Structure 1
Amino acid sequence: MNLHIIRFTRRTCLRFQLCRRLHASLLEANPIQAYDARVAQGRLENDPYQRKILSSLSQLHMSLGHYVPPTVATPDVELLKPKTGLSGYFLKLLNREKSGNSAGENSVKGIYLYGDVGCGKTMLMDLFYLTVPKHLPKKRMHFHQFMQNLHKRSHQLKLEHNHMDLDVIPLLASEIAQNSTVLCFDEFQVTDVADAMLLRRLLTLLLSPEYGVILFATSNRAPDDLYLNGIQRVLFIPCIQLIKKQTKVIYLNSPTDYRKVARPVLSVYYCPKPGVKYHSKTNLAACRKHVETWTNYFNQGEGSGPLVENDTLTVWGRQLNVPVSRRPLVAQFTFEELCGQNRSAGDYLTLASAYHGFIIRDIPYLSINVRDKVRRFITFLDAVYDAHGCIATTAAAQFKDLFVEPEDVKADNYQLFKKQSDMGAEETFEDDDLVVKHGFDKLVAKKASMFVNDEEKFAFARALSRLTQMGTTDWLEAPRDLRQ
C-alpha cells in the first residue's frame, strides 16, 4: 500500500472513531439533539428548512416514549383459505371499508415526509430512526427492497402451507407487526398495479389500532400523487386516504440540494484523458492501478484478507457468481458481468447487503440500444446507495458523458465517431419536469430522455446525482451506518 493510502487510512480511522462515538450518543438523544450533535461535529449544515421539521420528529419521538404496541396474534391459517372466493380476513376488511372505518384511529400518528431530491429527507429519517426508543422494535428499509422481500415471503408462506391460493396478507401483516412497531420506508413510491393492490390491504391492517404499526416514509411524491395515472388507481385511493389519516404529511421545501454542495471529491471514478484510447497500453495500465488501489482500500479492517475467485451467493435458490471478492468488504465485476446478464433487483439487493465496496470495471459508452443494461445499472446503484455502500469504477468517460446517441458509438463501444456536443440542451429541455419540478440539470434531463416512462427518467437522473454524492470524501470516510 503506498504512502498516500496509508495517510488516507489513518485519517479515516480517526474519523471513524469520532463518528462511532457520535453514533452512540445519538441512541440516547431525541431528533433535535441528534441534529444539533451532527451540526456541532461539522457533519451537517444548519438548515432552517430541515430544522422546522425537527419539531414534528421530536413530537413523534416523545409519543413513542410511552407507546405500548398491541399484542398481535398470528392468524388462523384455516380462515385464510378461500372457501367462498374470499378469505374471512378479507371479508372483514371489506366490511370495515363499507362502514367507513377502514383502519380505526391509532393513538400515535406517523410521518410522511416528501420533497425534491437531495433536500435531506433520508438524513432526517435516519436521525429519527437512530433515536427510536429502545423498547420498540424497528425496521428501516428502502421501499423497493421491502416490496421485493414481501413478494418473496408471500411465495414462501404459500409453499409452507401447501396452498397457492392462501390469503397471505394477514400473515404478512402479523409478522411485520410482531417484529417492527416502527416501520421506516425510504423513497416510498408505487408504480405497479399488483403492488398497489397489495399495499392497500397490507397497510389497512398494519396502520390499524389492532396492529399498531407506526409508519415513517420519505418520498419524492405527495400522497395524492402516488400511483398517478396508474391502472385501476381508483382502487388505490383508499390507501392514499389511509396514509394521510395515519401520518402527519410534511413537505420539505429546502431550496438546497445537498448532493450538489461542493465537497472534496476523490478519484473513485476513473476515465482516460481526452485523446487517450481506452484499450491503449497506457490506459489499461492506469485502469489496473486504479482497480488495485481501491480494492486495497476497501479490503481493510475486520474480514480483510486475500481475494477469492468465483465466490457464490444464493438468491431465491439460485447461485449468483461473484468473479473476484472478499466478504464482506469488496467485490469486483466488469460492467458486462454485472449488467449484461438477466439479473433481477433481488440479485443486486443481495450483493449490496453482502459487500461494503464494489469495483466496477470497463463501463463502455451507453445508449438507448443497451437500455436494459442501463436499467440494471440504475437498480444496482440504488441498492448500493440504500445499503450505504461504496463503488469505484473505470469507464470510457465521465458519467455525465457516458450516455450518447447510438450512431455516435464505434463498434467496440469505447470510442465515439465524433465529439459529443450538448449545444442547445438548455433550450430544448428547460421545461422538462426533471428540471422544473425536481431541479435537475438540463443536460441530465436530455440524457434521461432515452427513457419513455417518467419514473425511469427520474430514476436515471437520481442515479447520476447519487454517483456524485457517492464519490465524495464524506461518503467514503463515514462509517457505513452514518452515510447520508
Structure 2
Amino acid sequence: MPDGFSCTRELTGPLATYQEQLGGKLVYDSSQLPAIKALDSLFLQLCEQHANPAEPIKGLYLWGDVGRGKTFLMDLFYHCLPQEGKLRLHFHHFMARIHKALEAHSGQQDPLVIIAKELASECRILCFDEFFVSDIGDAMLLAGLFDCLFKQGVVLVATSNIPIQRLYENGLARHKFLPCIALLQRHTHSLHLDGEQDHRLHLLHTDPHETRIKPRSKYVGISGELDFSTIFTELTKNTPATVIRENSINICHRDIPVIRATDIHSEDSLVWFDFYALCEGPRSQLDYMEIAASFNTVMLSGVPQLGGQVRGWIKARGTEDGIGDNQAASTGERIVSYAVDDDMVRRFISLIDELYEQKASLYLTCDVPLAELYLEGALIFEFRRTYSRLIEMSQYQDPLSSR
C-alpha cells in the first residue's frame, strides 16, 4: 500500500456525491443505483481497511451497453478517493504502460512480479476504462500480471461492454486466457448496468430531416459540408506560416501524410488528415495515442461509408485456438469472419477512443450521415460505442461561431 494512501470517513463517498448531483445535469436512472451503492460499499471497505489492512477486498467489474454511465460512475468513485494511492487509465493506455515496463525490465527474472510491485507501490486502487482484449500479446500477459497485482493487494475497478466470461471470446489461443478470467471472477464483483437509457443522448434534440447532429458537447463538430480549408485557416490565423506544414508529421518514429498541420505540442496545435492516410495503412493504437496527446484539434476528412458484407477468411494456420471440425481443422487453417473494410473500421474505432479519452477537438466529414456510417460488418457491437461517442462529442453550431 502506498504510504500516502488514507481513505477516511471524513471524505464524501460516491453515493452522497451522486445524490448531490441529481437534479442538475445528472439524469436519474434507477438501473445505476446498484452500481453506485456497490462503489460506495467499496469506498467504505477501503476506509475500514486502512485501519485493518489484513482484511481482503474484492474490486468491481462494471459492464453494460454503451452510454449506461459506467465510466461516469467509476470516475465519480475515483474522484471521491484521496489523491494518493490511486491510478486511473484507459485499458489501452494501461497495456501500453505494461509493454513499456517490460522493455525496461528486459532480461530480468520474473519481470511481471517487478512491474506488479512497482504498480502496487504507486496505487492501492487501480481503475481502468473500456476493458476489451483483442490482442493475443495482451491476452498472454494479463493472467500473470493480475495474479501478481492481486497478491500485492491491489484492488481493481474496471468498466467494459461485455461480461467477464466473454472477454477475448473469439481470440487466438483463448484457452491460455481462461486463467485471467478466473482471477477476475475471484477478485472482483461483476455488476451489470442493464438500463435502457443512453445517457450520451439525453441532451440531444434531433430533427429527422436534418443530417447534422444537434448536441451537447464542446468537443466536436460533425457535418458532411464543413469547409475544412476555411476552418483550418481560421483556426490558425494567429499561427506563423513558418510552423504550418503540408507534407507529413512523424508519429511513433514513422511519417504519416497530412493535408496540413501545425507544429506538434504547439499552442492550439492542429492537424488535418485524410481518412485513408490515418486508417488504411499499418497504424496502431500507439499512433492514435500520440496524435491525441500531441494535437489539441484533429480534422479528419473523407470518411467513407464503412463496413460491408461479412465473409469467412483464412486468417492463420494452427489449431491452438480450438476451432471446430467444420472450420478447416483438418488442414490447420483458422477461419475468421469479417467485412473487407473492417481493419480500417477497427483503426477508426481506436482513433475515436483516443480522441475521446484525451478530450481532443474533432472535425469530421463523412460521405454519408453519421447514423449510416457503419451498418454492416463484424464490428457492429464495437462501433456502437464509437457512434455514441461521436454523438456526445458533436456540436451543431457553426464551428467558427464562437471565435
TM-score tier (shorter): 0.7 to 0.9
CA RMSD of aligned residues (A): 3.3
CA distance in 1, matches of 2:189, 2:257: 44
- Asked if the contact 1:69/1:181 (under 8 Å) is kept, the reply is no
Check if 1:124 corresponds to 2:61: no
Percentage of identical aligned residues: 32
Check if 1:207 corresponds to 2:146: no
2:44 pairs, out of 41, 48, 62, with 62
CA distance in 2, matches of 1:255, 1:212: 35
2:354 pairs, out of 374, 379, 383, with 383
What are the Cα deviations for residues 206-233 of structure 1, in whole angstroms up to 9, with x where unaligned?
Answer: 012xx11110011122222223344443
* Partner SS state of residue 173, structure 1: helix
Spell out the pairing of 1:23-38 with structure 2 (5 A cutoff): 29-38=12-21
Q: Which residue of structure 2 lines up, in the alignment, with residue 182 of structure 1?
A: 125
**1:35–1:325 CA distance, 2 compared to 1 (3 A):** farther
Stretches of structure 1 that go unaligned for 5 or more consecutive residues are: 1-26, 72-104, 273-282, 404-446, 477-484
CA distance in 1, matches of 2:119, 2:359: 24
More strand by share: 2
**1:362–1:139 CA distance, 2 compared to 1 (3 A):** same
2:157 pairs, out of 205, 209, 216, with 216
- Asked if the contact 2:131/2:160 (under 8 Å) is kept, the reply is yes
Stretches of structure 2 that go unaligned for 5 or more consecutive residues are: 1-9, 206-213, 309-339
- Asked if the contact 1:269/1:398 (under 8 Å) is kept, the reply is no
Q: Which residue of structure 1 lines up, in the alignment, with residue 345 of structure 2?
A: 374
Check if 1:171 corresponds to 2:114: yes
Q: Which residue of structure 2 lines up, in the alignment, with residue 355 of structure 1?
A: 295
What are the Cα deviations for residues 104-126 of structure 1, in whole angstroms up to 9, with x where unaligned?
Answer: x9622211111111111111001
- Asked if the contact 1:196/1:236 (under 8 Å) is kept, the reply is yes
Letter in structure 1 aligned against 2:298: F
CA distance in 2, matches of 1:70, 1:356: 45
- Asked if the contact 1:448/1:460 (under 8 Å) is kept, the reply is no
CA distance in 1, matches of 2:231, 2:11: 41
CA distance in 2, matches of 1:305, 1:65: 51
Whichever of the two has the greater Rg, that structure is 1
**What TM-score comes out, normalization by structure 1 length?**
0.62
- Asked if the contact 2:35/2:62 (under 8 Å) is kept, the reply is no
Q: Which residue of structure 2 lines up, in the alignment, with residue 345 of structure 1?
A: 285
- Offset, 1:237: 2.9
Number of aligned residue pairs: give it: 338
1:227 pairs, out of 154, 157, 168, with 168
* Partner SS state of residue 44, structure 1: coil
* Partner SS state of residue 259, structure 1: helix
- Offset, 1:37: 3.2
- Offset, 1:130: 0.8
**1:340–1:137 CA distance, 2 compared to 1 (3 A):** same
**1:246–1:306 CA distance, 2 compared to 1 (3 A):** farther
CA distance in 2, matches of 1:157, 1:321: 34
- Offset, 1:170: 1.1
1:239 pairs, out of 176, 180, 183, with 180
- Asked if the contact 2:15/2:40 (under 8 Å) is kept, the reply is yes
Q: Which residue of structure 1 lines up, in the alignment, with residue 103 of structure 2?
A: 155
- Offset, 1:353: 2.4
Q: Which residue of structure 1 lines up, in the alignment, with residue 244 of structure 2?
A: 309
Q: Which residue of structure 2 lines up, in the alignment, with residue 332 of structure 1?
A: 271
**1:225–1:343 CA distance, 2 compared to 1 (3 A):** closer
